[in-house]
Amino acid sequence: MHHQWLLLAACFWVIFMFMVASKFITLTFKDPDAYSARQEFLFLTAMPDAGRSPGEKRFPEELKPTGKMASGSRLVQPLVYVQRLELIRNVCGEEALRNLSHTAVSRFVLDRIFVCDKHKILFCQTPKVGNTQWKKVLIVLNDAMFVCLNSNYAELMQGEEGWLVLDFCGQAVILLSQQIEPILVLGRAFPSIEEIPENVVHDHEKNGLPRLSSFSDAEIQKRLKTYFKFFIVRDPFERLISAFKDKFVHNPRFEPWYRHEIAPGIIRKYRRNRTETRGIQFEDFVRYLGDPNHRWLDLQFGDHIIHWVTYVELCAPCEIKYSVIGHHETLEDDAPYILREAGIDHLVSYPTIPPGITVYNRTKVERYFLGVSKRDIRRLYARFEGDFRLFGYQKPDFLLN
C-alpha cells in the first residue's frame, strides 16, 4: 500500500513538471522576437551615453522624431524645438511687447528669405549668425548649372543666339556659336559646400538663390503655407558685437562703404567727444542703435542695416509660422536636426563647426560694453528686448544694473 502511494505521488510530480515545462516552452516560442526586442529597447533607453550630460534625453535611433510625414500623421518634435515655437507664440500674444515683436511682411522681409523650390525650403537670412554656411547648403541643393571659366566661376545659359557664359567676377561675357559644342564641362557648380567661394555666396545676383520677393503674391503665399521654413538666432548683443567687428574693424570682404560712408554718418551724429579723431567706436555704434530716432539714418544706409537690425525686422516671426528656429549656441545639434526635418540630410551635410565657436562668450560681451554708459545700454536693450524675449535669451542684467 505504501509503495502504491509513492508511485501515485511520483506520477503526479512527473505530470506537474511536464505542465510547467510546456508552459515555459509556449511562453518562450510564442513570439521569438518579443524578448530580444524588449531587451534591446531597455538597453537603448537605460544605458547612459558617454559624454552626455545627466538628465539629457535621448531617443533610440529608430524612435527619433524626424518631423516627416509617417502613416499620415506628423511625428512629435523633440521638446526643445517645440518649446522654442511655443515661446514665440506666447510672446507674440503679449500686447505690451507688440511693437517689439510684430512687423509687416514687407518687401524688406521677403528679400531676406531665400527659396529652394526643388526641396520646398525657405531660409530667412539673419546676418552674423553663420548664414554663409546655410546659403552654401542651399546653393548645393539648388543644383544650379555652372562652368569654370579662366579659373573664375561662371554661369552657362543657352539663349536664342547660342551659349552665353556669364563670369561671376563680372569680367567677361562670351557668346559661343550654337554650331560649336561648348568645350567647358557643364554640370553641378559645386558638388560640395567646401568648393563654393565666398564671393559667390554673397553675390545674390549670381549665386542661384532666388528671394521670396521675386515671386507673385499668390506664389509667395503658397510657399509660406506649404514649405519648410527656418532661421537661426544667437544672443542679440553678441550678434551686434560680431556685426561691428566684421563691418567696421576687420571688414574681410573689403566693403569700403561701411568704413567710408556708414561709419562717418554714425560718428557725425552720435560721437560725444567731437575732438576724438579715431574711427568708429563700439559706443558710437550702440548709441546709434539705441536711438529711438535711428530710422532716418537707416534709410540712408539702405539694405546694409540687415547686419544689425532685429530678428523681428528681418524675419517677422510673429507673422510667419516657421517650422524650426535654430540657435547658434546649440548649432552642433540644431544643424543636423534642421537637415533631417527638411528631408535633405541624405543630400548634404552642414560644414564642420570649429570647436568652441558657437559658445556664448560673456567675457567678450563685458569687454565690448565696458566703455558704454548704462543709459545707452538700457536704450539698446529697449530696442532689442523683443529678440531677447521671443527666443529665450536671458536679459543681460550684468550689463544693465
Written as one letter, the residue type at 362 is R
Q: How confident is the model at residue 71 (pLDDT cuts 50, 70, 90)?
A: very low
The pLDDT, as a whole number, for residue 19 is 55
Is 203 part of any domain?
A: yes
Summarize the confidence of residues 95-105 as an average pLDDT.
97
CB < 8 Å & 24+ apart, contacts of 153-158: 153/189, 153/197, 153/200, 155/206, 155/208, 156/182, 156/184, 156/186
CB 148 within 8 A of CB 172: no
The pLDDT, as a whole number, for residue 196 is 78
Is 328 part of any domain?
A: yes
What angle (nearest 5°) sits at the alpha carbon of residue 214, between those of residues 212 and 215?
80
Summarize the confidence of residues 3-27 as an average pLDDT.
52
Residue 314 has pLDDT above 90, yes or no: yes
Q: Between 3 and 84, name the one with better pLDDT.
A: 84
Q: Which DSSP symbol is given to 118?
A: G
Written as one letter, the residue type at 152 is N
The pLDDT, as a whole number, for residue 247 is 93
Q: Judge residue 78's burial from the number of C-beta atoms within 10 Å of its C-beta, 0-12 exposed, 13-18 middle, 19 or more buried.
A: middle
Q: Which residues contact 243 (CB under 8 A, 6 or more apart)?
A: 127, 128, 307, 308
Q: Which of 111, 153, 165, 80 is nearest to 316 (CA)?
A: 111
Is 44 part of any domain?
A: no
Is 69 part of any domain?
A: no
What angle (nearest 5°) sits at the alpha carbon of residue 77, between those of residues 76 and 81?
150
The pLDDT, as a whole number, for residue 16 is 57
Residue 170 has pLDDT above 80, yes or no: no
Q: How far is CA 210 from CA 108, 116, 123, in A?
A: 14, 8, 11
Helix or strand run (H / E) with residue 361: none
CB 129 within 8 A of CB 232: yes
Q: Which of 143, 136, 130 is nearest to 231 (CA)?
A: 130
Distance CA 315, CA 122 (A): 11
Q: Which residue has the cell 502511494?
A: 5
pLDDT in tens, 107-156: 999 999 999 999 999 999 999 998 989 999 998 888 654 444 433 444 45
Summarize the confidence of residues 369-398 as an average pLDDT.
97
Is 292 part of any domain?
A: yes
Is 54 part of any domain?
A: no
Summarize the confidence of residues 175-181 as an average pLDDT.
37
Q: How confident is the model at residue 73 (pLDDT cuts 50, 70, 90)?
A: very low
To the nearest whole number, what is the mean pLDDT of the chain? Answer: 77
What angle (nearest 5°) sits at the alpha carbon of residue 255, between those of residues 300 and 246?
95
Q: Which DSSP symbol is given to 350?
A: P
pLDDT in tens, 30-51: 333 332 333 332 222 223 333 3
Tell me phi and psi for residue 109, to 5 degrees.
Answer: -70, -45
Percent of the chain at pLDDT > 70 equals 68
Q: Which residues contact 176 (CB under 8 A, 6 or more apart)?
A: 162, 163, 164, 165, 182
Q: How confident is the model at residue 317 (pLDDT cuts 50, 70, 90)?
A: very high
**Domain range holding 141?**
77-147+192-399
Q: Between 250 and 291, name the one with better pLDDT.
A: 291
Tell me phi and psi for residue 392, to 5 degrees.
Answer: 75, 25
pLDDT in tens, 211-245: 999 999 999 999 999 999 999 999 999 999 999 99
Is 316 part of any domain?
A: yes
Residue 73, beta-bridge partner list: 70
For the chain, what is the domain count? Answer: 1
Is 312 part of any domain?
A: yes
Beta strands in 242-390 (DSSP E): 324-327
> Three-state DSSP class for 346?
coil
